[in-house]
Homo-oligomer: A and B are copies of this chain.
Amino acid sequence: MFDEIDIHILEILQEKARIPNAEVARQVGMAPSAVLERIRKLEERGIIEGYEVRLNPACFHQGLSAFVQVESDGAATAQALAEVPSVQEVHQVVGPDGFLVKLRTADHTTLARILGEIRALEGVRSIRTQVVLETVKETRRVDLTEHNGNGRH
């Protein structure tokens, strides 16, 4: 599905996505047009899903994170959870009808309100909340180092 040059390109983009294509070409030692072609194909194949800006949450009154274990009747709840503002992630986990929800709010007051909303959702039996004191690591990077050379998919 991709070779070591693609991996190299992806590493560069993973480091700094808003970089000119010509600069990527320089770093991988290829013509800009060839690199452009490769990137386009990576996008077409869905290997690259998109490009995003990483914002500092604290600058937008979103400094408080929490995880909520939601025990619920069924999968219908997932959609409702996903639509709650401040909810960033909803994962269905193996076990007793559980969802794990990650959310971001401004402060404890807002958190309390959001938790109230979640508890009131149709089908929610109980919730257990874990407030984040400090985030030690938070990345979404994919480890590409082990993909050098092979790359079948």
A residues in contact (CB < 8 Å) with B:
1-2, 10, 13-14, 16-18, 46-57, 59-62, 65, 67, 78-79, 81-82, 85-95, 98-100, 104, 130-144, 147, 153
Docked pose: A40 CA to B80 CA in angstroms: 38
Contact partners of A54 in chain B: CB under 8 A: 48-52, 140
B16 touches A136 (CB 8 A): no
A93 touches B17 (CB 8 A): no
A17 touches B17 (CB 8 A): yes
Docked pose: A98 CA to B133 CA in angstroms: 10
Contact partners of A2 in chain B: CB under 8 A: 59
Pick from B88, B95, B136, B139: contact of A139, CB under 8 Å:
B88
| Least Cβ–Cβ distance between A145 and chain B, in angstroms | 9
